[in-house]
Amino acid sequence: MQLPDMNLLVALDALLDEGSVVGAARRMNLSPAAMSRTLTRIREAVGDPILVRAGRGLVPTPKALQLQGQVRNVVEQAALLFRSADQVDLSTLRRRFSVRANDFFIGVYGGRLFDTMERMAPLCELCFVPEGDTDDEALREGRLDLRVSNTMPASPEVKVQNLFSTTFVGLAREDHPLFDEEITAARFASYSHISISRRGIARGPIDTALNAQGLERRVALIAPGFHGAMFMLPDSDLLLPVPKEALLSANRLKLPLRAFALPISLPTLVLAQSWHPRFDKDPAHRWLRETMRESCHATWLEAQPA
DNA sequence: ATATTACCGGGCTACCACAC
DNA sequence: GTGTGGTAGCCCGGTAATAT
């Protein structure tokens, strides 16, 4: 069987990623003219224009967008074949690591993670992507390097490693009437709450715990993320349960908020990172996972009460 | 500014002739 | 039969010019 020139795949990956002939040429140490001719060969091989002129630049065709994930996957797998199983030169490593996490994790843990990555692998990019419904598929296709979540992946082949566990505390404006007397479950339930949910779900473990005591709370506001919700507290009587590490963000932002221990018992939340086994032996990915684990641990320690 | 094309040169390979 | 050297053709990259 006559195989096509596999170098075209590497060039196609660069072209689709950069979206320009000049950018892809720079990345592959070629002249723009040489890359333009490579694009011509790719067009002939694929039978599609791949990138078409739009003013000064180029835009991808639907076929190109459809191929992008597959091409990246194949190129990464091919690169792995030639890479030592244990070594990676972080100083020259050019790679974008996509991590899916919620805004609590990004806001509290993302900064230290990025700082460590920036110092060790200055040419790498960290790309946080919002949580989605097709995590396992994204991991499998290589669109996602890591997923950080408290829910287990649906696919049994996906690898999981615990990062840290956390518990919830309550947040309210510092002069909230809640602080005038002892914070009982009944008083906690008597104020309106913010519930954090991307899918608009108002009920959760807090409601279960209150119901067990014959109490019920009113969720007056549903927000997609903790950080945005925190900014609503100073102007309202709302209460916001947050993972206790989120207090780091509240303190840094110098928000006029006060934390309180929840008067109910909630299960401990365990956050874990998960990845597809295809990346298990990849030294760069292994470094990412290790860096994630260590930077999370350092942030977690900082957030613990003295 | 960026993409494409024309033209040129270097490297590689297939093919052939020749010597051993 | 095998190894070596010469040649032609192809592929690909560079520069420069042109088109968008």
pLDDT tens, per residue, chain A with 306 residues: 455 677 788 888 888 888 888 888 877 778 788 888 888 888 877 888 888 877 667 788 888 888 887 888 788 777 766 666 567 788 888 888 999 998 889 988 998 899 999 999 988 889 898 776 566 777 877 778 999 988 877 777 788 899 988 889 999 999 999 999 999 999 999 999 999 887 777 788 899 999 999 999 999 999 888 888 999 999 999 999 999 888 888 888 888 999 999 999 888 889 999 988 778 878 889 999 999 999 888 888 877 765
What pLDDT score was predicted for residue A133?
55
Other beta carbons within 10 Å of A107: 21
**What is the distance in angstroms measured between the alpha-carbon CA of A75 and the sugar C1' of C18?**
35
What pLDDT score was predicted for residue A241?
93
CA of A11: nucleotide with nearest C1':
C12
For residues A198 and A20, give the distance between their C-alpha atoms in angstroms, rounded to a whole number. Answer: 35
Q: Which CATH number fits domain A168-267: 3.40.190.10, 3.40.640.10, 2.60.120.380, 3.40.50.300?
A: 3.40.190.10
- Strand C neighbours with CB under 7 A? A 5, 7, 29-31, 33-34, 37-38, 41, 53, 56
What pLDDT score was predicted for residue A227?
87
Spans of all domains in chain A: 6-82, 96-160+271-303, 168-267
**What is the distance in angstroms measured between the alpha-carbon CA of A298 and the sugar C1' of B14?**
63
CA of A34: nucleotide with nearest C1':
C13
Those nucleotides of strand B lying less than 7 Å from any protein Cβ are: 1-6
Q: Give the class (CATH, top level) of A96-160+271-303.
A: alpha beta
User: Closest Cα partner for A122 from A154, A156, A166, A92?
Assistant: A92
What pLDDT score was predicted for residue A85?
58
Q: Give the class (CATH, top level) of A6-82.
A: mainly alpha
**What is the distance in angstroms measured between the alpha-carbon CA of A8 and the sugar C1' of C9?**
23
Residue type, A121: A
For residues A90 and A45, give the distance between their C-alpha atoms in angstroms, rounded to a whole number. Answer: 34
Those nucleotides of strand C lying less than 7 Å from any protein Cβ are: 12-17, 20
Q: Do domains A6-82 and A168-267 have the same CATH topology?
A: no
Question: Is residue A157 helix, strand or coil?
Answer: coil
**What is the distance in angstroms measured between the alpha-carbon CA of A4 and the sugar C1' of B19?**
39
Residue type, A36: S
**What is the distance in angstroms measured between the alpha-carbon CA of A80 and the sugar C1' of B3?**
33
What pLDDT score was predicted for residue A184?
94
Helices (H), chain A: 7-18, 21-27, 32-46, 62-82, 103-120, 135-141, 185-190, 205-212, 226-230, 246-252, 283-303
For residues A231 and A172, give the distance between their C-alpha atoms in angstroms, rounded to a whole number. Answer: 10
**What is the distance in angstroms measured between the alpha-carbon CA of A32 and the sugar C1' of B13?**
27
Residue A214 φ/ψ region, left for φ over 0, alpha for ψ in the -120 to 50 degree band, beta for the rest: left
